[in-house]
Structure 1
Amino acid sequence: MRQRVLFSSIFRGGNMRVRRIVDLSVPIGSETQIYPGDPVPRLSVHSTVERDGFNLLNVDIGSQTGTHVDAPFHFQDSGLRVDQLDLGLFTGPGVLIDVRGLGPRGRISWDLFSDVVFPPGAIALMCTGWSAFYGTPAYFDHPYLEADACRRMLDLGVRTFCIDAINIDETPSDAHPGVGYPVHHLIASAGGVIGENFRNLELVDFPDPLVSCLPLALENADGAPVRAVAMQLEV
C-alpha cells in the first residue's frame, strides 16, 4: 500500500513526466526463442483490409512466451494464478543487480550483490548480459540465481525477481542435469513472481527507475507475456 500511495502522490503533483523509457522486452514472433518443449509461437494473418475491410492477426502462443512473468501457480497447484495477483507486484522501483561477466552457467551468489539496498516494493533486475546470446544455443547456458541468495532477498522483502535469461534457475541439459528449480519453488512459496527473457537491462543506467512488467490478464494462467519497461521520471 505504501508503494501505491507514493506513486499516486507523484502523479497528483502534476509536474511528473517520463524522461526516458527503456524497452526490456523481446519481440514475439516466429523467431522468438522458447524454453525447450514449450509451445512454438505462431502468428498468422486472419483478416486483411483488402478482403475483410480490416487487419486482424491470429496469435497462438504459450503463457511463458517471450518476456513473461511466472505466477506462483506455475510451480504450485495451490498458488495464485496470474490474474489473481496484486498488480503492485508488477510495478515498482527497479533495483539493478549487475552480475555481468559470470560466464556460462555462472552462479549468482549473495556475495556478488550483498551491498545492494532494496526499497519497499523493489523489482530486482538481474543483469547477466546473457541477452546478448538470445536466439542462439548459448542462451540456454545462462547464469542463474543461487537458492541461498534468493532466500536472503526474500528475507529482505523482495517479491519480484527479473532476469535477462530464459530461466532464473539453471536450465537442465544432458551435460548439466541441474538440481531442479529451487528458486522457482522458493519464490512461489513466498507469493512472489519471476520475470524472464528480459533484455536491455544494461541500459537502465539512471537512478530510481520505475519498472512496469504488467502481464496479460489471462484467466487461471501460470504466467503471461508482458511488455516490460523501465522509466526515468522527472518530478
Structure 2
Amino acid sequence: MYRDLSHPLRTGAPTYPGDPDVSVEPAATHEADGYSVHTVELGSHAGTHVDAPRHTEPDGATLDDREVGEWAFDARLLDLTPCEPREAVGPDAFPDDLDPAIDLLVVRTGWADRWGTDAYRDHPFLTPEFAERCVDAGVGVGLDTFGPDPTAPAESADDDSGDEPTGFPAHHALLGAGLPVVENLRNLAGLPRRFACYAFPLPLAESDGAPARVVAKTR
C-alpha cells in the first residue's frame, strides 16, 4: 500500500519566508489552443522537497552528486505529537533502539495540520544536540515542518525568539555530514513504525534542493 506524503503544489502554496512564491497558471487551454499547458514558477525548496548539502554548505554536494537510488529510504517514524509551538526537540527524544539499517528518521510533530496558516511558522524544531545524534547514527531526517531549525514568526521576520538557536545549526549538522533532509511532509498519522519511503526530487541540475513526490510504502 502506498501513501502520498507530499503537499500539492498550487498557486499561493506556503513557502519559507523570503523564498519565491509558487505560481501555476494556464499557458495554453483546450478552449483557445486545443491542448492544456501550464507555466510553473517556484523555488527549489517549494512544497514538499529535499535539501541537498549545497543548501547550507557552500562546498556541499548538489542533487547531481547523489545516485537516484539514494532517495529510497528505510524509514522509522518518530511520533512526537502532541507538540507545543516552537517546542525544542532535544536529544532525549532520539530513539535509543534505532535499527542501524534505518537511514531516514521521519519526525511527526503534527504541524502539517497548520499548512497554509501563519501558525505553520511556529513549528517545533530540532536542537543541535538532536541533530548530532542523527549524525552519530548516520540517519537523515524527514519533517512535517518548514525544516529542522526554527522559522521566524509571522508577526516579525526579525523577531528575537529568546532561547531558540539562531542561524541553521541543525541544517549545518545534517547537511554538513551529507545526510538527507526532507521537509514539509504530510499524512504521517497512522504510519507504521517502520516503512519504505521514496523521496525522488525533480532532476534540477546542480541544485541545492528540489520539490519531491514523497511516498510511503507500508506493505
Flag whether TM exceeds 0.5 (same fold). Answer: yes
Q: Report the secondary structure of 1:79's partner residue.
A: coil
Q: Report the secondary structure of 1:203's partner residue.
A: coil
Q: Matches of residues 26-105 of structure 1 in structure 2 within 5 Å?
A: 26-105=7-86
Q: Hey, what's the Cα distance between the residues in 1 that align with 2:120 and 2:34?
A: 42
AA aligned to 1:25 is S
Q: Which has the larger radius of gyration?
A: 1
1:198 aligns with 2:185: yes
Q: Matches of residues 118-157 of structure 1 in structure 2 within 5 Å?
A: 118-157=99-138
Q: Which residue of 2 aligns with 1:182?
A: 169
Q: Hey, what's the Cα distance between the residues in 2 that align with 1:78 and 1:157?
A: 20
AA aligned to 1:124 is L
How far did residue 207 of structure 1 move?
A: 4.8
TM (norm. structure 1) is 0.85
Q: 1:113 aligns with which of 89, 94, 99?
A: 94
Q: Report the secondary structure of 1:224's partner residue.
A: strand
Q: Which residue of 1 aligns with 2:213?
A: 227
Q: 1:165 aligns with which of 145, 148, 162?
A: 145
Q: Hey, what's the Cα distance between the residues in 1 that align with 2:108 and 2:210?
A: 21
Q: Which residue of 2 aligns with 1:7?
A: none
Contact 2:94-2:130 within 8 A present in 1 as well: no
Q: Choose between structure 1 and 2: higher helix proportion.
A: 1
Residues 63-110 of structure 1: per-residue CA shift (max 9 Å, x gap):
010000110000112111112223343212110011112201101112
Contact 1:120-1:157 within 8 A present in 2 as well: no
Runs of 4+ residues deviating >3 angstroms: none
State the percentage of identical aligned residues. Answer: 35
Q: Hey, what's the Cα distance between the residues in 1 that align with 2:97 and 2:161?
A: 30
User: How many pairs were matched up?
Assistant: 212
AA aligned to 2:150 is E
Superposition RMSD in Å:
1.6
Q: Report the secondary structure of 2:216's partner residue.
A: strand
Q: Hey, what's the Cα distance between the residues in 1 that align with 2:15 and 2:117?
A: 11
Q: Report the secondary structure of 2:76's partner residue.
A: strand
Contact 2:138-2:179 within 8 A present in 1 as well: no
Identify unmatched segments of 5+ residues in structure 1.
1-19
How far did residue 39 of structure 1 move?
A: 0.5
AA aligned to 2:185 is F
Contact 2:14-2:47 within 8 A present in 1 as well: yes
Structure 1 window deviating more from structure 2 (44-53 vs 219-228): it is 44-53
Q: Hey, what's the Cα distance between the residues in 1 that align with 2:99 and 2:39?
A: 41
Residues 20-60 of structure 1: per-residue CA shift (max 9 Å, x gap):
21211111112311111110111111112233232111101
